[in-house]
Amino acid sequence: MSIEQSNSGVVPQQDQIRGQETIPAAVAVELAQIRKEIAELRAQVLEDRAALIVFSGDLDRSLAAFVIATGAAAAGLKTTIFFTFWGISIIKKKNRKKNRASVSKRDLMQKMFSMMTPSSSKALGVSKMNYFGIGAAMLRAMMKKQQISSLEELIALARELGVQMIGCTMSMDIMGIDQDELFDGIELGGVTAFVEEASRARVFLLI
């Protein structure tokens, strides 16, 4: 700071000396080298972004994911959530009637898998003590009593804050899930592309 101030003090003085305003060749070489090093550093510095891979499809872990994601977005980070594997359940629409065509394309294992996995965010269990959904219902009731946002409210808040949400194409292929079964506005993408992007983000978490 003090050095910059002394610089500014020097500038007007120097301006009075006529014919000295050009940069000496040796200095120009040094400055060009410094600028190159700064550009290299800038390319290495992480960006103001947050990237979350949501692998888990548990209610409790989903809540943690969205609390972190909305927190990161509120802190000014451009935030992206990549839903993969069990996490795909979180972004499934509740109303499945529209999707009959895509369901009929599924093979037997995909149909079994679909029956065994939660149909939407409303049907997620908790990772511990779920007891066939009692744990999840209890958690939701306890959160409501404390006036804490529900998962669905947090998802809506995330959208409002511009959090980008991507469904993992590989997981969807494995499970036989089509894009029209997911919430509107969910993009599709591959893990590798996401990891490459995320590797430049200041925050990169897996849940």
Q: Which of residues 28-87 bind a copy of itself (CB under 8 A)?
A: 28-35, 37-38, 41-42, 44-46, 48, 50, 53, 55, 57, 60-61, 64, 67-68, 70-72, 74-75, 77, 84-86
Closer residue to a copy of itself in complex, CB, 39/98: 39
Spell out the residues 6+ positions from residue 68 whose beta carbon is closer than 8 angstroms to its own: 50, 52, 205, 207
Q: With contact defined as beta carbons under 8 Å apart, do 72 and 138 qualify?
A: no
Shortest reach from residue 89's CB to a copy of itself, in Å: 10
> What is the per-residue binding string for a copy of itself in 131-150, x denoting contact by CB under 8 A?
-------xx-xxx-xx-x--
Q: Is 2 in the site for a copy of itself (CB under 8 A)?
A: no
**Among positions 83, 103, 116, 160, the unique one binding a copy of itself when judged by CB under 8 A:** 116
Please name the amino acid found at residue 182.
L
- Per-residue DSSP letter, 34: H
The interface with a copy of itself within residues 96-115 (CB under 8 A) comprises 107, 109-110, 112-113
* Count of residues that interact with a copy of itself, criterion CB under 8 A: 88
Asked whether position 153 contacts a copy of itself by CB under 8 A, the answer is no
Q: Assign residue 117 a region: left if phi > 0, alpha if psi is -120 to 50, beta otherwise?
A: beta
| Closer CB to a copy of itself, 37 or 98, in the complex | 37
- CB-hemisphere CA count at 13 Å for 120? 11
- 156 is a site residue for a copy of itself (CB under 8 A): no
Residue closer to a copy of itself (CB basis): 173 or 178 = 173
Nearest CA to 115 out of 96, 134, 137 is that of 96
In contact, 39 and 11? CB cutoff 8 Å: no
